[in-house]
Structure 1
Amino acid sequence: MSDDDLDRLMAAPGIVRNAAKLRSVGGNAAFFSDLARSHGSVAAWILTFPAGRYMELVRELKMRGDRLGGKTGQLLLRRMGVPSLICSDDVVKALIAADVVSKAPSSARDFAAVQAALDRWQAETGFDLTRISRILALSVG
Structure 2
Amino acid sequence: MADTVEHFTAIYQRACERKGGEAALKALISKPLPPAKLAQLPDSLLLAELTKKVFQSGFVWRVVRQKWPGFCELFFDFDIEKVLLLSDEMLEQKAADPRIIRNLNKVFTIRDNALMIFDVQQQEVQQKVQQEQQSFARFVADWPTENIIGLWAYLKKHGARLGGNTGPYALRAIGKDTFLLTQEIEGYLRAYNVFDGGINSQRSLKQIQQQFNLWQQQSGLSLQEVSQIVALSCGENHVGMQR
- TM class by shorter chain equals 0.7 to 0.9
- Contact 1:70–1:87 at 8 Å: present in 2 too? no
Q: CA offset at residue 136 of structure 1?
A: 2.6
Distance 1:28 1:125, change over 3 A: same
Structure 2 segments unaligned to the other structure (5+ residues): 1-85, 125-133, 237-243
Q: Tell me how far apart the structure 2 counterparts of residues 133 and 16 of structure 1 sit (CA, whole Å).
A: 31
- Check 1:49–1:98 CA distance in 2 against 1; reply closer, same or farther (3 A cut): farther
Query: Which protein, 1 or 2, shows the higher relative CO under an 8 Å CA cutoff with sep ≥ 6?
Result: 2
Q: 2:119 aligns with which of 24, 30, 34?
A: 34
- In the alignment, the residues of structure 1 paired with residue 218 and residue 212 of structure 2 have an alpha-carbon distance, to the nearest angstrom, of 10
Alignment counterpart, residue 178 of structure 2, candidates 84, 89, 104 = 84
User: Could you tell me how far 1:50 is from its partner in structure 2?
Assistant: 1.4
Q: What percent identity do the matched residue pairs reach? A: 30
Q: 2:161 and 2:211 mapped to 1: Cα distance? A: 26
Post-superposition shift, 1:115? 0.9
Alignment RMSD, CA only?
1.9
Letter in 2 for 1:87: L
Please tell me whether the aligned partners of residues 92 and 103 of structure 1 are also in contact (alpha carbons under 8 angstroms): no
Task: Return closer, same or farther for 1:10/1:33 CA change in 2, 3 Å cut-off.
Answer: same
Q: Which residue of 2 aligns with 1:140?
A: 235
Decide whether the 8 Å contact of 1:91 with 1:136 is kept in 2.
yes
Equivalent pairs, count: 141
Q: Is the 8 A contact 1:62 1:69 kept in 2?
A: yes
Change in CA separation of 1:19 and 1:89 when aligned onto 2, cut-off 3 Å: farther
Matches within 5 A, 1:60-139: 60-102=154-196, 105-138=199-232, 139=234
Q: Deviations over 1:103-134 (max 9, x none)?
A: 65212111110110011000111111111221
Instruction: Kindly state the Cα deviation for residue 88 of structure 1 after the two structures are TM-superposed.
Output: 2.2
Larger Rg: 2
**Does 2:100 match 1:15?**
yes
Question: 1:96 touches 1:103 (CA, 8 Å); kept in 2?
Answer: no
> What amino acid does structure 2 have at the position aligned with 1:140?
G
Question: In 2, are the aligned partners of 1:87 and 1:104 still within 8 Å (CA)?
Answer: no
Distance 1:6 1:103, change over 3 A: farther
Deviation at 1:13, TM superposition (A): 3.1
User: For residues 132 and 73 of structure 1, what CA distance do their matches in structure 2 show?
Assistant: 19
| Structure 1 residues without counterparts, runs of 5 or longer | none
> 1:14, 1:46 → 2: CA distance?
31
Q: Deviation per CA, 1:5-36: give whole Å up to 9, x if none.
A: 34433332342332221111111111100112
